[in-house]
């Protein structure tokens, strides 16, 4: 998985479920929020993201590839793909 899961996945899931918890009138919320609906919706969103991500990356891997060759990996994506250095000091030296 990509590094976005801890931030967007976990925090988003907590936000969805927390809305169901803290939206209850017993906890000071305004009500009208179903905890069960929030849990189902949150896990449904996670399932859609996993299936969609797997499908997209699977198609990309099968058609154009998603890895750099060994030399490009050694040089790094900054130089190989973006044609910039990871350290700006290299760019400013004359």
Could you report the per-residue pLDDT of 39-58, keeping only the tens digit for each? 999 999 999 999 999 999 99
Residue 7 lies in a domain: yes
37 domain residue, yes or no: yes
In a domain, 40, yes or no: yes
> Residue 85 falls within a domain, yes or no?
no
- What tokens appear for 15 in the block? 């936000």
Secondary structure in 3-state letters for 55-76:
HHHHHHHHHCCCCCCHHHHHHC
The answer to the question of residue 45 being in a domain is yes
- What pLDDT, on the 0 to 100 scale, is given for residue 91? 62
Cα–Cα distance between 65 and 21 in angstroms, integer? 43
* Low-confidence residues of the chain: pLDDT under 70: 1-2, 86, 88-94
What residues make up the domain containing 15? 1-49
Q: Give the three-class secondary structure for 33.
A: coil
pTM: 0.69
* Within a domain: 30: yes
**Number of domain units in the chain:** 1
The pLDDT, as a whole number, for residue 5 is 82
């Amino acid at each position: 998985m990509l590094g976005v899961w801890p931030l967007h996945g976990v925090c988003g899931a907590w936000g969805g479920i927390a809305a169901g918890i803290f939206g209850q009138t017993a906890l000071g919320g305004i009500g009208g929020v179903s905890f069960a609906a929030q849990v189902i919706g949150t896990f449904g969103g996670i399932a859609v993201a996993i299936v969609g991500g797997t499908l997209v990356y699977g198609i990309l891997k099968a058609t154009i590839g998603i890895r750099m060759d060994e030399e490009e990996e050694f040089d790094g994506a900054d130089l190989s793909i973006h044609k910039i250095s990871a350290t700006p000091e290299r760019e400013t030296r004359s």
